[in-house]
Structure 1
Amino acid sequence: MSEREPILNIPGVVTALSLAMIAIHAARIFLLSDDADREVLLTFAFIPARFEPSLAGTWFPGGAAGDVWTFVTYGFLHADWTHLAVNVLWLAVFGSAVARRFGTLRSLVFFAVTAAAGAVGHLMAVGTAFVPVIGASAAVSGFTAAALRFVFQAGGPLSPMRASGEDAFRVPALGLTAMVRNGPVMGMIVVWIAVNVAFGAINLPMPGFEGQIAWQAHLAGFAAGLFLFRFFDPVRAG
Structure 2
Amino acid sequence: MQEEQKTIRKRQVPAVTRAVAILRQLAREEEPVGVNPLARSLDLIPSTCLHILRALQDEGLVAFDPETKRYSIGLGILPLARSALQRNTFATLVQPRLDRLSEDFGVTGIATQLTQPGHMVVIAMSQSSIPFRLQVDLGSRFPALISATGRCFAAFNREKDEQLRKDFEDLSWDHPPAYEDWLTEVSQARDKGYAVDAGTYISGVTVIAVPLFDAGGRMARSLVAIGISERIQTTGADRVADAMLALRDQMSSTQMTMEG
From the two aligned structures, give the one with the greater helix fraction.
1
TM-score clears 0.5 = no
* TM-score when normalising by structure 2: 0.27
From the two aligned structures, give the one with the greater strand fraction.
2
Larger RCO: 1 or 2 (CA < 8 Å, sep 6+): 1
* TM-score when normalising by structure 1: 0.28
- Higher Cα radius of gyration: 2
